[in-house]
Structure formats: C-alpha cells, structure tokens
C-alpha cells in the first residue's frame, strides 16, 4: 500500500522524532540544519507566502512560483514551504539572462516574487515581455 502523507506532515513528524539532529548538510560548505530548525524555517516561509497571497502581493493563481536561489538551505526552505501550502516551486537557473530567463518563466507559467522582479528590472527585461503578473 502506498504511503499517504504530505511532505509537510513528513517534515513535522521527523522534526518531532529527531529534533536537533542534522537533517541537511550542504557540501562542500558543511552548512547544517536540524530537522527542527528546517521545520521552523519552512513554517515561517510558508506563513510569509500565505500572508503575501492574502494581501495581494503574490499572485499564485497558476499554482507555480519561481525560485531563483543558489542551491542551499534557503532554496530547500522555499521549496518545502511552497509545497506545504500546495504550490509548486519552479527552479530558475541563476545563469539565465535576457530572453532565456523570459522563456523559462513563460514555459513554466510562474509568478516571480519580489527578488526576481528586481533581477528582471536590473537586466532590463520588461515584465510585459514575460506575459506574467510580476509582484
């Protein structure tokens, strides 16, 4: 019989069971976060996303939100937080620029969050080109 548990519930159960034991260790930096620490960050980020959606600051109508972060604990936190509130985090390669970045956003029907909006503007990519509502 298949396991029927959400990732959020699995993380919660692991945090309760393993507490401050290491959950993730990033190589080669050695940065570590415990199960309890990761759950706490994920919960805060998830509540932050929900608050932004409720305030109309984040348009998540497509169910997809772009994540453009280096591979690390902040990226994993955002990814789990989005999953926990039933959204999909779409990874956007940090090396993408100009038309390649716009194409990736369009192909995945994502709604970038504020840090990505600043990047779009810095690279002089109009949000209109991306056919999306940039918050």
Q: What is the CATH number of the domain that holds 110?
A: 3.40.50.980
> What is the pTM (predicted TM-score) of this model?
0.72
Burial class (CB in 10 A: 0-12, 13-18, 19+), 40: middle
Query: How many domains are contained in the chain?
Result: 1
The pair of structure tokens assigned to 9 is 């519930």
The answer to whether 8 and 50 are in contact (CB under 8 A) is: no
The reply to whether 61 falls in a domain is yes
The pair of structure tokens assigned to 125 is 């990519």
| Domain with 101 in it | 7-122
Q: What is the pLDDT of residues 23-75, one digit of tens each?
A: 999 888 899 999 999 999 999 888 888 887 888 767 677 777 777 777 788 88
């Amino acid at each position: 019989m298949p396991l029927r548990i959400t990732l959020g519930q699995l993380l919660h159960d692991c945090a309760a069971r393993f507490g401050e034991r290491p959950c993730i260790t990033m190589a080669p930096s050695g940065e570590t976060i415990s199960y309890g620490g990761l759950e706490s960050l994920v919960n805060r980020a998830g509540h932050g996303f929900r608050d932004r959606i409720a305030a109309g600051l984040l348009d998540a109508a497509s169910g997809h939100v772009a994540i453009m972060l280096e591979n690390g604990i902040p990226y994993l936190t955002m990814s789990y937080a989005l999953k926990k509130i039933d959204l999909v985090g779409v990874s956007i390669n940090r090396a993408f620029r100009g038309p390649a970045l716009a194409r990736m956003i369009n192909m995945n029907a994502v709604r970038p969050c504020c840090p990505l909006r600043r990047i779009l503007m810095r690279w002089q990519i109009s949000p209109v080109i991306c056919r999306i509502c940039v918050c």
